[in-house]
Amino acid sequence: MEQLEPKDMCAYFYGYKFCTITEQLITSKILSSDLDQLKKTAVECMKDYIEHSQFSTEEKEELKKNYERWANVTLKGIKQRLRDSDKLHE
C-alpha cells in the first residue's frame, strides 16, 4: 500500500474543500453576508501567506498593496455571477 506524503494529503483535502464549496454554489442559495465573511478570511490568509513567504521585502510590500483589491474584485465578480443565476440572497 502506497503511503501519501503530507503535501499530497494537503492537495487532496484542498481539492475536496473546493468540490464541496462548488456543490453548494450549484445546488443552493448563498448568503451575501457569508461571502463578505469569506472575503475577510481570504484577506487574512493572504496577509499571513505574504508575511511567511520567501519574497523579498520589496515584493512583499507590493503584494500587500494589492491583496485587498484582489479580494474585492473577486468578491464582486462572484456575487454578480450568483445574482445572475438567482443564487444570491442579499
Percent of the chain having pLDDT more than 70? Answer: 97
pLDDT of residue 7 exceeding 80: no
Alpha carbon separation from 71 to 17, 25, 47 (Å, rounded): 19, 18, 12
Task: Answer whether residue 9 shows pLDDT above 80.
Answer: no
User: Average pLDDT of 13-23?
Assistant: 79
Asked whether residue 45 carries a pLDDT value surpassing 70, the answer given is yes
Q: Output the nine-digit C-alpha cell for 34.
A: 457569508
The SS3 call for residue 88 is strand
Phi, psi angle pair for 33, to nearest 5°: -65, -35
Angle (nearest 5°) at CA 13 between 9 and 19: 145
Positive/negative CA dihedral, 45, 40, 67, 73: positive
